[in-house]
Homo-oligomer: A and B are copies of this chain.
């Protein structure tokens, strides 16, 4: 089981349009530090699953047939905008799984093209793609949102974005797993109050501790978090994801 971060940015991306803060200025000069819309590729043998479709160049990144499935966390634009183009392709259809959100995004569900939207997933009811076991986990966000636990051969990887904190049931469920690898929304640096709908670093540290995670990877990162990271380090066990980085 291998996860590659395709995008690790929040809705504004890094650099933010017109922002000259230290993080945005550096990212404008060094493309490797840029953060595209939050998304990832999960691979297990021949199986390739796209986690969220917010990248706008999906047609250039993935040849027809490359993707076995698309798994959506939720229908906010930054997580589905790349699908508006992909849908009008001529290929075999691509199965798309996600939470129950009949509104979807704009006319995506009404005109799905080659996207084969499967019946909405049910919280805590696992399903299988090839050898991979996937459990949808409710998150706390402004739209119906699922994180996912991926299990294979003793490996446990939880992909948890977008969210502010974790619902109690999701947290209890994840506490059953040892050696958990966590990828989680950390949009903001430490705040007196966490931002609406997204974690700040304080919340992420609490979650890391309560889940006894082996490693916690920060994603959905905003430019203020990146600016904070220029002057500050992270506690042991926490890591900042970068676009293009692969976890094995």
Cα–Cα distance between A222 and B138 once the two chains are bound (Å): 41
Task: Please tell me if the beta carbons of A18 and B64 are within 8 angstroms of each other in the complex.
Answer: yes
Contact with B along A1-42 (1 / 0, CB 8 A): 000000000011100111100000000000000000000000
Docked complex: A51-103 residues within 8 A CB-CB of B? 56-57, 59, 64, 77-78, 81, 84-86, 88-91
User: Is A247's beta carbon under 8 Å from chain B?
Assistant: no
In Å, the complex CA distance between A81 and B11 comes to 14
A90, B18: Cβ atoms closer than 8 Å: yes
Oligomeric state, in copies: 2
How far, in Å, is A225 (CB) from chain B's closest CB?
15
**Measured CA separation A19–B88 after assembly (Å):** 10
Residues of B near A107 (CB, < 8 A) are: 77
B18 touches A89 (CB 8 A): yes
Known: A59-B17, A64-B18, A81-B81. A11 touches B88 (CB 8 A): yes
Chain B residues with Cβ below 8 Å from A91 are 17-18
Main secondary structure of the interface of A (DSSP, over half): loop
Q: Residue A88 contacts which of B17, B59, B84, B90 (CB distance < 8 angstroms)?
A: B17
CA of A16 to CA of B90 in the docked complex: distance in angstroms?
7
Partner of A84, one of B18, B59, B81: B81
* Contact A89-B56, Cβ < 8 Å, known A77-B107, A106-B105, A107-B77: no
Within 8 A of B (CB), among A199-240: none
Tell me the smallest distance from the CB of A180 to a CB of chain B, in Å: 32
**List of 6 A-B pairs having minimum Cβ-Cβ separation, nearest first:** A17-B89, A18-B91, A18-B64, A56-B56, A12-B88, A17-B59
A residues near B (Cβ < 8 Å) are: 11-13, 16-19, 56-57, 59, 64, 77-78, 81, 84-86, 88-91, 105-107
Known: A17-B91, A56-B56. 15 other contacts (CB 8 A): A13-B85, A13-B88, A16-B88, A16-B90, A17-B89, A17-B90, A18-B89, A18-B90, A56-B57, A56-B81, A77-B84, A78-B84, A81-B81, A105-B106, A106-B106
